Structure 1
Amino acid sequence: MWSVVSSGGVPAGERFDWYADIISREVMPAALSSERPADFQGEAAVVDLGHLRASKFTLSPLRSRRTPALIRRGDPEQYQLALLRTGVTSMSQHRSACTVGAGDLMLWDTSLPSDNTMHADGGQVRATILMLPRDVLPLRPERLERLLARRIPGDRGIAAILASFMAALEDHAAECEPEELARLGTVAVDLATACLAQHLDAEDRIPAEARAEVLLRRIHAFIEHNLGDPELGPPTIAARHNISVRGLHQLFRGQGETVQARIRRRRLEQCRTDLGRPELAAHRVQSIAARWGFGGPVAFSRAFREAYGLTPTEYRALSAGGPHRDTP
């Protein structure tokens, strides 16, 4: 049977803090944050499957971080394999980063630092998770590290079979007796092992050119998710993806712009969008620039004028006078 905890019976203003405390005490220590804590709703449930457990979550978007200090406070020493049922979430761990949507699978290690952001524009997040003790998977940890924070499409092959199993487990585990749940735990380990092994073998067979393209897409996604970090740059990006700065620059050859140029362009585009949004009219220009990683008003104003032919203030005034148009 599922053991369920829900914020439904908690006063609205206390729900987020209550949920964060439950997760840190009953699951593992984590730093949770929410852009709208007063509107938070969350429900979590766990079921025993013999040598492992499965959990399911339905909650408002939030950010969850596991730092080295939090890991030292408590670590279940598990691999956690999630099937996202609804919503959109981004995970970074062990020099990898990915964004997954409904139907995708994703693996992470509770013993390593991680950062998981559930996107508000994706709506409520619902996920089913296999909580796998490290010793139940017959795959070497150094191989599994290659799959951490990597999107595993759940619409084909063994991954589709595993995703269907996890969805059925969430929907029907409450109907099963303890001995049946233990047998389902064995099935879960076998399917998870087969799915992960298939993706490891497939990765080994990918040509170098295709691996480079996959890595480049991961780097582009990482840049998008970290535009607001003023420290974002080639050294940070290279370190997070376990490559040299020189190798990073080589990846960008033929892209039409350097790494730094891409970061600058995307920051400017985000600033331009925000400057044209009526609901942000009360926000200072420098606040918007800082939100997207620009360090000072002079440098931002100069970069914006070079890109769009107007100062940020002029662009905002022009946008307020009529519908927003993209600047060539």
Structure 2
Amino acid sequence: MLIETAFSTRDVLAPHNFSCWREHIAQTYVPMDVEGNRTADTTVSQRVLALGAVQLWTMEHSPMTLRRTRKLIQQSDPELYHLSLNLRGTMGLARSDHETEYEPYDLVLHDTSQPHLIRATTSHGEDTILGTGLFIPRKLLPLPEKAIDSLIMQRLSGREGIGALLAQFLTQVTRDSGSYRPDDGPRLGVVAVDLLSALFAHALDAGDSLLPESHRQTLVLRIRAFIQANLHDPQLTPRTIAAVHNISTSYLHRLFQHEEETVAAWIRRQRLERACHDLAAPALHAAPIHTIAARWGFTHAADFTRAFRTAYGIPPRDYRNSAHAR
């Protein structure tokens, strides 16, 4: 399974659970101060999954206010972007100039290097707030920092388009973390960065406002996000991808000349990696191999077996048997 760090106040008696949580978050690499009801029974359950340089977190907790001050930034400043996806309750994010509230399935970006306040409250008679999100090193995102900074505190939708794809990725990886291997973490981190960058590029509607190289990168990110969302489609070819993005097939190939793989090779690798995951998943042990292959766009079992053997050195059946034996 993925490398995970967990914290819970479940085994701490009130009112000590508040002070226990406060001490814990003050000692993390993004320390924050906690304001809340010290005498109440504070509930906090937090998980952090390591996706290479990216951290995927999820947290369910009582109403509280978290404050990141200049003093705490001086104490530890890992220079991260912090993306939050609100799943239940209401989250308010405040900086010195203004404050904005976010409802369930709103995505919000903030910067760990800037002072801010997060105010989480329940709604509709619920007892706890639920959320998930990412910590991403700023240097990992290929877009200009000034452009990304313009999105801080903006309301980004996690209900449609690339935002919905990112929200689905965050919740699914958290839910299925036990079915991945530790070495899957960095690969999932790359997917997270690609999806987030594509979301930002879409929100910026960059157009001519970016330098030519940045514009090329944003287009490649949009194309990668589209491919990841349509890997199941056997008609996903360079020609159809180019048509959807209103570019020629030759220009699509030129875009990927700057990447490590051609567009066709990247599609094939993405499909094979997802088939690998499914072959190793205990829940899919009874699923026929040709069904898993078709699920990821391989319409002919023989083509899938040949591509799998070329990529991994063994046929898919042997890979599945070895994975389940481990």
Among 16, 32, 35, the alignment partner of 1:33 is 35
The answer as to whether partners of 1:96 and 1:149 remain within 8 angstroms in 2 is no
Q: Does 1:175 align with 2:188?
A: no
Q: Does 1:132 align with 2:132?
A: no
Match for residue 163 of structure 2? 159
CA distance in 2 between partners of 1:125 and 1:140 (Å): 33
CA distance in 2 between partners of 1:37 and 1:64 (Å): 17
Q: Give 1:163 shift.
A: 0.8
CA distance in 1 between partners of 2:99 and 2:198 (Å): 23
Match for residue 143 of structure 1? 147
The answer as to whether partners of 1:96 and 1:150 remain within 8 angstroms in 2 is no
The answer as to whether partners of 1:173 and 1:181 remain within 8 angstroms in 2 is no
Match for residue 280 of structure 2? none
Output aligned runs, 1:86-97, within 5 Å. Answer: 86-93=88-95, 95-97=97-99
Deviations 1:123-167 (A, max 9, x none): 411111111011111122211121111211111111111111111
Q: Give 1:94 shift.
A: 6.6
Q: Give 1:59 shift.
A: 0.5
Gap change, CA 1:151 and 1:70, over 3 Å in 2: same
Output aligned runs, 1:185-200, within 5 Å. Answer: 185-200=189-204
Of all paired residues, the percent bearing the same amino acid is: 31
The answer as to whether partners of 1:85 and 1:103 remain within 8 angstroms in 2 is yes
Unmatched runs of 5 consecutive residues or more in structure 1:
206-328
Indicate the SS of the match to 2:157. Answer: coil
CA distance in 1 between partners of 2:207 and 2:73 (Å): 30
Gap change, CA 1:71 and 1:203, over 3 Å in 2: farther
CA distance in 2 between partners of 1:98 and 1:173 (Å): 32
Indicate the SS of the match to 1:99. Answer: strand
Indicate the SS of the match to 1:147. Answer: coil
Deviations 1:278-307 (A, max 9, x none): xxxxxxxxxxxxxxxxxxxxxxxxxxxxxx
CA distance in 1 between partners of 2:43 and 2:207 (Å): 39
CA distance in 2 between partners of 1:204 and 1:114 (Å): 32
Gap change, CA 1:39 and 1:173, over 3 Å in 2: same
CA distance in 1 between partners of 2:27 and 2:58 (Å): 17
Q: Give 1:181 shift.
A: 1.9
TM norm structure 2:
0.59
Match for residue 55 of structure 2? 53
CA distance in 2 between partners of 1:170 and 1:203 (Å): 34
The answer as to whether partners of 1:93 and 1:148 remain within 8 angstroms in 2 is no
Gap change, CA 1:17 and 1:80, over 3 Å in 2: same
Q: Give 1:36 shift.
A: 5.9
Deviations 1:169-190 (A, max 9, x none): 1111222101222211110000
Q: Give 1:78 shift.
A: 0.5
Indicate the SS of the match to 2:142. Answer: coil
How many residue pairs match? The answer is 205
Deviations 1:192-224 (A, max 9, x none): 00001111117999xxxxxxxxxxxxxxxxxxx
Range 119-128 or range 76-85, more displaced: 119-128
Match for residue 231 of structure 1? none
Q: Give 1:114 shift.
A: 0.4
CA distance in 2 between partners of 1:192 and 1:68 (Å): 27
Output aligned runs, 1:165-314, within 5 Å. Answer: 165-201=169-205
AA in 2 matched with 1:104: D
The answer as to whether partners of 1:29 and 1:74 remain within 8 angstroms in 2 is yes
AA in 2 matched with 1:169: V
Among 79, 85, 97, the alignment partner of 1:83 is 85
Indicate the SS of the match to 2:28. Answer: helix
The answer as to whether partners of 1:96 and 1:148 remain within 8 angstroms in 2 is no
Match for residue 289 of structure 1? none
Deviations 1:87-123 (A, max 9, x none): 1111023745321121111111000010110124464
CA distance in 2 between partners of 1:97 and 1:115 (Å): 9
The answer as to whether partners of 1:80 and 1:129 remain within 8 angstroms in 2 is yes
CA distance in 1 between partners of 2:139 and 2:96 (Å): 20
Gap change, CA 1:27 and 1:126, over 3 Å in 2: farther
Unmatched runs of 5 consecutive residues or more in structure 2:
210-326
CA distance in 2 between partners of 1:32 and 1:69 (Å): 14
